[in-house]
Amino acid sequence: MPTVTKIQAQRAIIGIIQDMIQDWDLDLDEPIGANSKLAQDIEFSSIDVIQLIVSIEEYFKQKMGFHELLMNDGRYVDDLSVSELAAFVSTKLDGAQP
Amino acid sequence: MPVLRLPETTLNYLQMDERPDPTAPPLDLVLVHGLAANLAFWYHLAPALAAQYRVTMVDLRGHGRSGMPATGYTPAVLAQDVLALLDHLGLERVHLLGHSFGGSVCLHLALAHPERLASLLLADVRLRLLQPQQRVQDWPHWERLGPNLKELGIHIDEAGHEAGYQLLEEVMRFQLRGSDASVFPKLLAQWLPIGGGKRTAQHWIKLLDTTSARQDFIALEDFTQTDLAQLTLPLLAVYGEQSMAVKTARQLQELWTQARFEFIPQAGHFFPLSQPEKFVMSIQNFLNTPCPSARTAV
């Protein structure tokens, strides 16, 4: 069993995002969930993505090398879903186990 | 992310240190982004650089998650902010790298406090002192791009001396209207930080509309050609071969005969994003080679 399941990681990530956007005055079509995309649905800018991953690393007290997820073929990916982030975090935390 | 609280503003910053032996005394590399960008601009380059250096990235005031005070957006004032961050972090001597307007900020810091710099790295910096005008009609491919933008309802004063700023503002306002940045011609990404989304556009327009930034950004630099010529630091200047800032590079080459100049083929102003591998290689080659450009002071 992974140390932190994808569902647990996802719950934590959604909590962090909700903290970040609480005073943003966003008009969300639906609550933030697994399929929510950071840029398209939650209007994240590049600095918000960096803030999010720094917060995720602080929350789980571990560096995770997010640039692997953010970069594709030497360029930033256009967007990321909460689910993709959670899967990455879960894999990284699992891989850190002895 | 950590925040430095200064009397006038807050500065958001991020450090990355992935050296094999983090207990060894670090060499510090500080990265300063350009206009309408933020420290995320460097995030894709930082891991490669952090394998060797302790990398510090900062959001300039009015940008990213730093504060947006009413005044203080000239490169000279922004350089004081960067200096305050160096002091706060106890960074006595750093390699300082700036892109575009961020390079102008770094240059001001280098001239005011050369003792704090081990070297200066400039990426596609246009200096108003050397290149007073920036007209779109002088830009490569404008004859193709101009009509495309007109079709999107973006009209630029082609004879304007600061058309780059006007174009940036118009493009941000276009995004603010809810229009999708994907309709922009791909060429535009060589020149402008497009595609940042609606919130990035809102932030930029707020900065222009509610602070002194609009006037401050186009203020003439606080130095002369004589000052520039007397800079004795090891210097690297990298330019996109197709960038509108190349005119500045050509004049700097005459002033800084011992600096290292590199021109990245088929690249525009945003080569750190479009050709990151080449740029990282330039930086590493420069920093890893004892630089011959530390000239004797005149």
Residue B292 pLDDT > 60: no
Contacting residues for B68 by C-beta, under 8 A, at least 6 apart = B9, B61, B62, B206, B207, B210, B211
In a domain, A74, yes or no: yes
Domain of residue B126, residue span = 3-132+219-288
Question: Is residue B291 over pLDDT 70?
Answer: no
Last residue of a domain, one of B216, B233, B249: B216
Q: Is residue B23 part of a domain?
A: yes
pLDDT, residue B258, reads: 92
pLDDT level of residue B198 (50, 70, 90 thresholds) = confident
What is the rounded distance in angstroms from the CA atom of residue B54 to the CA atom of residue B71? 31
Task: List the single residue in B with minimal CA-CA distance to A56.
Answer: B1
From B40's Cα to the closest Cα of chain A, the distance in A is: 5
Sort out which chain B residues have CB atoms less than 8 A from A45's CB and list them: 38, 40, 196-197, 199-200, 203
Q: What is the pLDDT of residue B295?
A: 42
The CATH code of the domain that includes B249 is 3.40.50.1820
B86 and B225 in a single domain? The answer is yes
Residues 6+ apart with CB under 8 A from A58: none
Q: Mean pLDDT throughout B250-278?
A: 94
Domain annotation covers residue A1: no
The DSSP output letter for B99 is: E
Domain co-membership, B143 together with B206: yes
Instruction: Report the share of chain B in percent with pLDDT over 70.
Output: 93
| Closest-approach residue (CA) in chain B for A25 | B199
Domain boundary among B216, B234, B260: B216
Average the pLDDT over A49-57 and give the result: 94
- CATH number of the domain that residue A85 is part of: 1.10.1200.10
The answer on pLDDT for A74 being more than 80 is: no
Residues B225-239: pLDDT tens digits? 999 999 999 999 999
Residue B159's pLDDT band, with cuts at 50, 70 and 90, is confident
Q: Once rounded to an integer, what is the mean pLDDT over residues B80-108?
A: 98
Does residue A76 form part of some domain? Answer: yes
Average pLDDT over residues A18-31: 88
Chosen domain end from B216, B241, B262: B216
Structural domains in chain A (count): 1
Pair (B65, B156) in one structural domain: no
- Among B residues 35-54, those touching chain A with beta carbons less than 8 Å apart: 38-41, 43-44, 46-47
Domain that holds residue A66: 6-22+29-95
More confident residue, A97 or B297: A97
Instruction: Give the one of A51, A70, A75 whose C-beta lies nearest to B65's C-beta.
Output: A51
| Pair (B67, B140) in one structural domain | no
* Measured CA distances, B267 to B238, B258, B272 (Å): 11, 24, 9
Give yes or no for residue B164 having a pLDDT over 90. Answer: no
> A8 to chain B, minimum CA–CA distance in Å?
23
Residue A50 has its nearest CB partner, among B14, B197, B273, at B14
Nearest CB neighbour to B196, from listed A24, A45, A70: A45
Mean model confidence pLDDT for chain B: 90
Q: Best interface-test mutation with B: which of A38, A45, A67, A79 has the largest number of B CBs within 10 A?
A: A45
User: Do B209 and B154 sit in the same domain of this protein?
Assistant: yes
Is residue A90 in a domain? Answer: yes
Surface-to-core class of residue B289, CB atoms within 10 Å of its CB (0-12 exposed, 13-18 middle, 19+ buried): exposed
Same domain, B86 and B211: no
pLDDT of B281 above 60: yes
Q: Output the pLDDT for position A59.
A: 96
Both B34 and B106 in one domain: the answer is: yes
Q: Are residues B239 and B209 in the same domain?
A: no
**Number of folded domains that form chain B:** 2
SS3 A48: helix
Q: What is the pLDDT of residue A95?
A: 61
Q: Can you tell me which residue has the tokens 């940045």?
A: B181
The whole-number pLDDT of residue B83 equals 98
The whole-number pLDDT of residue A78 equals: 82
The predicted pLDDT at position A1 comes to 55
Q: Do residues B235 and B223 share a domain?
A: yes
Cβ distance of A46 and B203 shorter than 8 Å: no
Q: Residues of B numbered 81-110 whose beta carbons fall under 8 angstroms of chain A's beta carbons: which are they?
A: none
Q: What is the pLDDT of residue B22?
A: 86
Average pLDDT over residues B28-43: 95
Pair B149, B11 in one domain:
no
Domain contains A79: yes
Interface with B, mutate which of A21, A47, A48, A76 (most B CBs under 10 A)? A47
Q: Are B89 and B23 in contact (CB under 8 A)?
A: no
For residue B202, pLDDT beyond 50: yes
- Specify whether the CB–CB gap between A35 and A56 falls below 8 A: no
Dist. CA B250–CA B44, nearest whole Å: 29
- A20/chain B closest Cα distance in angstroms: 12
Residue B203 sits at the chain A interface (C-beta within 8 Å): yes
Query: What is this model's ipTM?
Result: 0.81
pLDDT at position B134 over 70: yes
For residue A73, the model assigns a pLDDT of: 73
Q: Please tell me if residue A26 touches chain B, with a CB cutoff of 8 Å.
A: no
Same domain membership, residue B113 and residue B14 = yes
Query: Is A46 close to B41, i.e. CB distance below 8 A?
Result: yes
- Residue A71: inside a domain, yes or no? yes
Q: What is the pLDDT of residue A97?
A: 46
> Is the predicted pLDDT of residue B211 greater than 60, yes or no?
yes
* Claim to verify: residue B7 and residue B70 sit in the same structural domain: yes
- Closest approach of A30 to chain B, Cα-based (Å): 19
- Residue B189 corresponds to which tokens in the numbers above? 């990404």
**Better-scored residue on pLDDT, B177 or B129:** B129
* Residue B130 neighbours by CB under 8 Å, 6+ apart: B225, B247, B248, B251, B252
What count of Cα atoms within 13 Å lies in the side-chain half-sphere of residue B89?
27
Residue B145 has a CB neighbour count (10 Å cut-off) of 21
Q: Does the pLDDT value for residue A2 go beyond 80?
A: no
